[in-house]
Amino acid sequence: MNVAATEVVQLGQADYAPTLAAMRAFSEARTPETPDQIWLCQHPPVYTQGLSGKAEHVLDARGIAVVQTNRGGQVTYHGPGQVVAYPLIDLKRLNIYVKEYVYRVEQAVIKTLAHFGITGHRVTGAPGIYVRLDDPFGHAALDANRLHLFEGLGKIAALGIKVTRHCTYHGVALNVAMDLQPFYGINPCGHAGLQTVDLSTIGVQVACDEVAEVLGSKLVSYLSL
């Protein structure tokens, strides 16, 4: 079976609810012959609550809508200046399982950060990508004894996925140059006191479009046959 190459779709500024509806419709209608796609966009301000989310992790929504979703994980924030990537991938075609898929998405983010000179880190049991606040450009390994406290770390990318009939939707959000104040209105991803950062905060001034192009390319590389 010949299937067309993965297509990267640039949505630009896109409201969250209709984008979610379109992802669900695409995933439910696709067949084994449907080419994979990666959607890239930015959302107007919105909090999204995952299936594991608890209401008490929304501390002060400050008038920003809180949308219940069917992805994994807990509450996060989307807003302008953040690149959101939605890989619509047939895992059966790739012959991988969810754990490997998450690893590959995170690896694509790590490689995107490396493109801009930043070292991204994983934290066991806390999906997403983190940077060392004292030295985001250094390559030193994290101190495993401090990770449960997220001491010295800032979260730069959040991940939440949904898999239906072996096909993925939802995805990953990478903070580029955004208003970080809304993150103080929540416990990000359910972790009280977890600091959230963006590329701008740690000294990398780059346009969202450039980051989106690099992230899209890395995702295609890691999520294609």
Structural domain range at position 90: 7-222
17 assigned to some structural domain: yes
Tens digits of residue pLDDT in 113-172: 999 999 999 998 889 999 999 999 999 888 766 666 688 999 999 999 999 999 999 999
186 assigned to some structural domain: yes
2 assigned to some structural domain: no
1 assigned to some structural domain: no
> DSSP string spanning 134-182?
S-TT--PPP-GGGGGGTTTEEEEEEEEEEEETTEEEEEEEEESS---GG
Question: The domain that contains 22 carries what CATH number?
Answer: 3.30.930.10
pLDDT tier for residue 4 given thresholds of 50, 70 and 90: confident
Number of domains comprising the chain? 1
Tens digits of residue pLDDT in 62-118: 999 999 999 998 999 999 999 999 999 999 999 999 999 999 999 999 999 999 999
Mean pLDDT of 57-65: 94
126 assigned to some structural domain: yes
Cα–Cα separations (whole angstroms), residue 49 to 79, 85, 138, 146, 155? 14, 17, 33, 27, 17
Q: Does the annotation mark 41 as catalytic?
A: no
Catalytic residue among 41, 167, 189, 208: 189
CB 177 within 8 A of CB 205: yes
Residue 141: per-residue pLDDT: 86
